[in-house]
Amino acid sequence: MATNPMHQFNVYRIGPEVKIAGIDISFTNSSLFMLLSAGAICIFLLLGTREKKLIPGKMQLVAEIFYNFIAKMISDTAGSKAKPYFPFIFSLFMFVLFCNMVGMFPYSFTVTSHIIVTLIMAMFIFVAVTVIGFIKHGFKYLKIFVPSGVPVLLLPLITIIEIISYLSRPVSLSVRLFANMMAGHTMLKVFGGFVISLGLLGGWLPLSFSVALTGLEILVAFLQAYVFAILTCIYLNDALNLHH
């Protein structure tokens, strides 16, 4: 079972079983690594904000780079109206990034490689964006499904496509992150297994692949966090500034 590349995604209970109203909410390894990621973010930000110097130190500079990166991303994609949502986007980006990065450590667990985690985040974003859209624009928000400048003949078809694409947002958002993380870690595990099975003579090639894949996976970890955050910004932009 140890050589099964999917074994790393197993969720198991740590500590006692906790049930509330018949629902099992026990502390698991997934919860542990969520906690670790959140703790790492807090420690990182704590170090970054510990001293407020006019000329920033190393940690302060890194924290401010992250801050400015997200702030620029939001203002570029969603405009100034999205400013109140900055803390949420920032938390989201940091959480996904740190979960992905913590998952890169050997023997660790990748929280974002589970569809339920990414789906909950994506569903929350989807529902929140829809609610914000209706609060800001009322029923005019439904215009988002009716693009302007489309021939009347094509309008029913386009509207149906728009509705489907809108409704598939949470699915695409969650599956993108989950599938990327799962595929990457599975591949790493498969190549790791090849190293063992091919032994001292033939194992060097898959090992070098493994090293290259690790670099790629770190890139993917960052990229997927970025994509997750920027798509959230784009959806938010649709809700805040009705363009269609």
Q: Contact between 146 and other proteins (CB under 8 A)?
A: no
Residues 63-82, one symbol each (x = binds other proteins by CB under 8 A, - = not), give: xx--xx--------------
203 neighbors 185 (Cβ within 8 angstroms): no
Which of 230, 224, 218 has the alpha carbon at shortest distance from 102?
218
Residue closest to 98 by CA, chosen among 48, 33, 50 = 33
**What residues numbered 159-218 form the site for other proteins, per CB under 8 A?**
165, 168, 171-172, 175-176, 178-179, 182
Q: Which of 73, 78, 94, 221 binds other proteins (CB under 8 A)?
A: 94
Strand extents, DSSP E, the chain: 19-20, 23-24
* b/e burial code for range 132-144 (CB count within 10 A of at least 16 → b): bbeeebeeebeeb
Q: Which stretch binds other proteins (CB under 8 A): 31-39, 145-153, 217-225, 236-244?
A: 31-39
Is residue 110 left, alpha or beta, with left meaning phi > 0 and alpha meaning psi from -120 to 50?
Answer: beta
From 55, 117, 59, select the one nearest 92 (Cα to Cα). Answer: 117
Task: Find the binder of other proteins among 57, 60, 108, 162 (CB under 8 A).
Answer: 60
Least distance to other proteins, CB of residue 209, Å: 22
State the residues that interact with other proteins by CB under 8 A: 4, 6, 9-11, 13, 23-28, 30-31, 34-35, 38, 41-42, 45-46, 48-49, 52-54, 56, 60, 63-64, 67-68, 86-88, 90-91, 94-95, 111, 113-117, 120-121, 165, 168, 171-172, 175-176, 178-179, 182
